[in-house]
Every structure is written in structure tokens, then in C-alpha cells.
Amino acid sequence: MFSAIVIDKNDEGQTVSVQQVDEAALPEGDVTIDVSHSTLNYKDGLAITGRGPVVRKFPMVPGIDLVGTVSESSNPGFAAGDVVVLNGWGVGEGHWGGLSQKARLKGDWLIKLPAGFTGEQAMAVGTAGYTAALCVDALINHGVKPDQGEVLITGATGGVGSVAVALLAKAGFTVVASSGKASEAEYLTKLGATSIIDRADLSAPGKPFQRERWAGVVDSVGSHTLANAIAATKYRGAVAACGLAQGSDLATTVMPFILRGVALLGVDSVNCPIGPRMAAWERLARDLDKDLLALIGSQTIGLAEAIQAAADLIDGKVRGRVVVDVNR
């Protein structure tokens, strides 16, 4: 038997509790893992509170991220004792996830945790940090280089934005952070931002073709912010778009694409193939300073506390990352 958060649904609605689960109930998969840590993402908050249609079947164990040690494997890529990390793949939505002491998953979804991270640190990075690394890789693989000028990070104090600022600064870029939180200027500077702009400068409808400023952009905000970022991207520059904190709409024209060769690079973390996943985690292990990870901040809580913390997260009462020690 092991402990897990279990979401169930009956005629009266959704129930969530920590339950003792029989190992025989684990879903199909070729790798069984003793989970050490998971984390709480916005999506987990929606799943646990039932405030968003995240869970696709019941009963469900939530948790879209996990790290742990393989206990059994029939997958040739993994053996007992390997420390592995999982992000996405619909885990915690359609397949039992990481807010549990045990998980059984497809080995094809896993990567070995790169040296340099503890399990707790890997979960402080979580899907947000891994998505930031995918965005940075997308820009650099496109050919964006530090000597081409400033790069813009929107939603800069957020989970994705903070790690993107740190990684791009480390890679030698001049980073302009866009944020709505003037009080966080010192934090963003410590992460590596050279200058900070008020997100209000980008969040209202603007001209579809503006003075060229950005060599590259990491956008986790969408809507008018993304449209304005595209409109001011330099000739042959690129915009990595991964989020919708402002909105999922995008009102722009083809002009930046056809007159400046601007590239709009979509970034998805959930079904991203293993190759780019490993590259993103390698960048994080190599370039994300552990002191900066501590500055980005995380609190570690136990499994039972994760239920209330999920509601707090959705209510906007949580700052920084929430790591869950599933054995606490």
C-alpha cells in the first residue's frame, strides 16, 4: 500500500483526499517509480480544486511533474536505481501522476535526472522551468545570438519568465524583463535582467508593425502583449510563445512575418519529444545557477498539505514554486 492524493467524482461532485492505495491498482506502464517529490502547477491546482476540466478520468491521482527512483523496469532504457524525472504527457490528467508515493509510467516518457540537481531542486524547476528552457532552446536553435541585440521576456516574475531571464542572461544575452510588479525590479536584476519595462507598455492593443527592438522574445503572456512583441521583433528575429497569462487571443497581421521574416515559434512542454526534453534539462543543469533557483524560491510541503495549497495557488495566494515531498 502507498499514500496518494486521489480525486474522485460521484453524483454530489468531486472529492479529494489522501488515500492508502494498493500497488495492484497502479495503471499500466513499463517503469515503476518510488516518487520522492512532485510539485504544484496551476494545472494541478485546477485538477485538485475541480475548478478547471483537467482530469479526464476518475479516480485520478494528480501531479503533472514528478521525480523519483525506478524500483522496477521492463523498459531497456531504465533499470532499478535510476533517478528519473517526468513532466507532462497527460500524466495527472489521464494517467495517474506524481502526487503519490508510487507511480507506474511509460519509460518513453521519462528522462534520467541530469547530475547537478537534487529531486527537490528538479521539482522547484518543474514544468515552468523546463518550458522556459524549451523556449530558450527554440530561440537559440533558430539562430538568435547575443550580439543581435536585446531579448524580451514577458511575464518575467512568473515561473516560466523567471527561469527564462536567468537562462538567457547566463547565455550572454541582454535581457529586458517585462513585469507588472515594480516592487520586483531588484529580484529581476539579480536573476540577470539588464532593464525592466512595465508590462502596461505591451498589454494594450498596438500598431501591428512597430520600430524594431527585439532580437528574440520569450512570451508566456499571449494576447496584445504577444502581438506587440511580434510587431517590434527585428529582421529575422524570433518569438517563442508558450503561454496565455493575459489571454489566448492574438490579433496581429502577417506584416512582421512577410516583411521582416520574423518567426513565431510555438512551444509545448506536454508532448514535446524526448530529444528536446533532454536538451532542455541539460541546459537547466548546466546554466541554472542553484543560488538563483533558491532566489526564485520554493516551499516544500507534505502530501496532505498539497490539497489546501492547490486551492491557495488558484486563489493567487502563493508566491514562488511549491514542491511536494510525497513521503513527508
Which residues of this protein are in contact with ligand NDP, per CB under 6 A? 42, 127-128, 131, 155-161, 179-181, 199, 203, 220-221, 225, 242-246, 267-270
> Cβ closer to ligand NDP: 36 or 127?
127
Residue placing its CB nearer to ligand NDP in the complex, 18 or 168:
168
Judged by beta carbon, residue 44 or residue 325, the one nearer ligand NDP is 44
Q: What is the chain's length?
A: 328
Q: How far is CA 208 from CA 217, 236, 266, in A?
A: 16, 16, 19
Q: Which amino acid is at 151?
A: V
Burial class (CB in 10 A: 0-12, 13-18, 19+), 21: buried
Distance from C-alpha of 127 to C-alpha of 122, rounded to nearest angstrom: 9
Least Å distance, CB 268 to ligand NDP, is 5
Q: Tell me whether strands 31-40 and 13-21 are parallel, antiparallel or unpaired.
A: unpaired
Nearest residue to ligand NDP, using CB?
158
Shortest Cβ 301–ligand NDP spacing (Å): 17
We find the least distance from the C-beta atom of residue 269 to ligand NDP, in angstroms, to be 3
Q: Which is nearer to ligand NDP, 117 or 187 (CB)?
A: 187
Q: Are strands 31-40 and 65-73 parallel, antiparallel or unpaired?
A: antiparallel
**Could you tell me the smallest distance in angstroms from the CB atom of residue 51 to ligand NDP?**
14
CB of 79 to ligand NDP, least distance (A): 29
Contacts 24+ apart (CB under 8 A), 18-27: 18/303, 18/304, 18/307, 21/61, 21/100, 21/102, 23/102, 26/96, 26/102, 26/103, 26/104, 27/95, 27/96, 27/104
**CB 137 → ligand NDP: shortest distance, Å?**
13
Cβ–Cβ under 8 Å, residues 109 and 90? no
Cβ proximity to ligand NDP, 43 vs 102, nearer residue? 43
For ligand NDP, the closer CB: 152 or 160: 160
